[in-house]
Structure 1
Amino acid sequence: MSPLLRQGWERFTLYLPIILMGLLAMGTWWLVRNAPAPLPPASEPSQLHEPDYFMKGFSVKSFDATGRMQSEVTGDVGRHYPDSDTLEIDNVRMRSVTPQGVLTVATARRALSNGDGSEVQLFGNAVVTREVQPRLEFRGEFLHAFTQAERVRSDQPVVLTRGNDRFTADAMEYDNLDQVLQLRGRVRGVLMPAATR
């Protein structure tokens, strides 16, 4: 090998790593510039407030371990909404019986219940009646019943009838377990005297 060729080869091998690094850098730049844009992050599908099933002219009953009926719900149309796990019922009628045999009946033009039925909102000519002595009845355009806690409340005008006594109020909260009734706003009451024997 001639000295001139040998000197050229030595210079080439001296600069070869720098040349290779330059070619790799240019290749990387070209790949980045010509690569497709990254996909946008997949957004979660928005859950629409749409029913996943319907029931028409239905009746649903629940029983305890001994086979005794605890509650029954009937309605013209029922719609279940999976996004909120609620059941909306048109022209609802509900019955529940305590272990002591006390019957509670509720009716309304529309009801909205949570998934386990422990909370029910009644809309439009709502009536909740407890068949005890004396009979207890709540009436209003909106009643919010908590079935397990045995409470009824409303932030709208209500009429309460207990036996022959009648009360009206702008708002109400009733706790059956503590036997406490709170009437708020403009409260009016008519107390009938006990019948003499």
Structure 2
Amino acid sequence: MRDFLSSLSRLGMRLLPLLLMALVAGSTFWLVQVNSPHEAPAGPVGTKHEPDYYMIRFSATELAEDGNTKMRFTGDKMIHFADDQTYEVTKPAMRAYEIDRPPVTGHADRGTMNAEGSVVDLFGHALIVRAQGPDPAKDPPMTAASEYFQVLVNDDIVKTDKPVKLTRGPSVMTANGLVFNNVTREVQLLGNVHGTIITVPPPASPAAKP
């Protein structure tokens, strides 16, 4: 029994350096793992919002079913972005033509347009002008000026949630927002409305002959 314990003791003494080396190696590996920054798992890389092409001094025309011009859209520069198929436009100008309706034009310092061309946002010195109708007394020229307008092309609606100045003939109104429906020719002024409405008197009837 004494010889067995003595042999076991000698074996332990020979294995002790190996155990210490294994312990040190294991501790070093653990310390490296704890103190090393872990990289996040690679996920899908999103598409950057970068332009893929641009046009200089462009002009685009939309035709109605009868072949007549429905809308013309021009600008100094148009940039297309591939990730969301949107456009940025410098000095945008647009003109809408509708049968039996006065033409409506709009321009601004810059603009954006969605992929379908159904929503156009105008920024900076934006001005919307509706020409005079057949009867100046009932349908005088009208303008709307603001720092921002959104044009819903398919609905023929212009709106803004920014301060706006509206003129209709000699009348002048200001408000905190506006919704203009060119189909019904209705104008809705939103919030803090001020102004002067001037009605044009009907033309005097010719004097009756004695």
**By the TM > 0.5 criterion, same fold?**
yes
Equivalent runs, 1:60-99 vs 2, <5 Å: 60-99=60-99
- The percent of aligned pairs where both chains have the same amino acid is 31
Tell me the secondary structure at the aligned position of residue 91 of structure 2: strand
- Cα shift readout 1:91-149 (whole Å, capped 9, x = no counterpart): 11111111335311110000111122211110000011122332121110001111111
> Which residue in the other structure is 1:151 paired with?
157
Q: Are residue 181 (structure 1) and residue 183 (structure 2) matched? A: no
> Which residue in the other structure is 2:177 paired with?
171
- Cα shift readout 1:54-108 (whole Å, capped 9, x = no counterpart): 0011111122343211111111110111222211110111111113353111100
Between the aligned partners of 1:115 and 1:100, the Cα distance in structure 2 is 29
Q: Are residue 190 (structure 1) and residue 196 (structure 2) matched? A: yes
Equivalent runs, 1:1-197 vs 2, <5 Å: 43-100=43-100, 102-131=102-131, 132=133, 133-197=139-203
C-alpha displacement of 1:195? 3.5
Gapped regions of structure 2 (runs ≥ 5): 1-39, 134-138, 204-210
Between the aligned partners of 1:90 and 1:84, the Cα distance in structure 2 is 19
Between the aligned partners of 2:70 and 2:95, the Cα distance in structure 1 is 8
C-alpha displacement of 1:160? 0.9
Query: 1:99–1:43: structure 2 CA closer, same or farther, 3 Å change rule?
Result: farther
C-alpha displacement of 1:187? 1.0
Deviates more, 1:52-61 or 1:64-73: 64-73
Between the aligned partners of 2:96 and 2:178, the Cα distance in structure 1 is 22
C-alpha displacement of 1:179? 4.0
Between the aligned partners of 2:186 and 2:57, the Cα distance in structure 1 is 37
Between the aligned partners of 2:109 and 2:187, the Cα distance in structure 1 is 25
Between the aligned partners of 2:181 and 2:69, the Cα distance in structure 1 is 24
TM-score by structure 2 length?
0.68
Between the aligned partners of 2:57 and 2:173, the Cα distance in structure 1 is 35
Q: Residue type matched to 2:126 in 1?
A: A
Q: Residue type matched to 2:116 in 1?
A: D
Between the aligned partners of 1:151 and 1:96, the Cα distance in structure 2 is 11
Between the aligned partners of 1:180 and 1:193, the Cα distance in structure 2 is 17
TM-score by structure 1 length?
0.73
Tell me the secondary structure at the aligned position of residue 67 of structure 2: coil
- Cα shift readout 1:8-38 (whole Å, capped 9, x = no counterpart): xxxxxxxxxxxxxxxxxxxxxxxxxxxxxxx
Query: Which portions of structure 1, spanning 4 or more consecutive aligned residues, are displaced by more than 6 angstroms?
Result: none
Between the aligned partners of 1:180 and 1:149, the Cα distance in structure 2 is 13
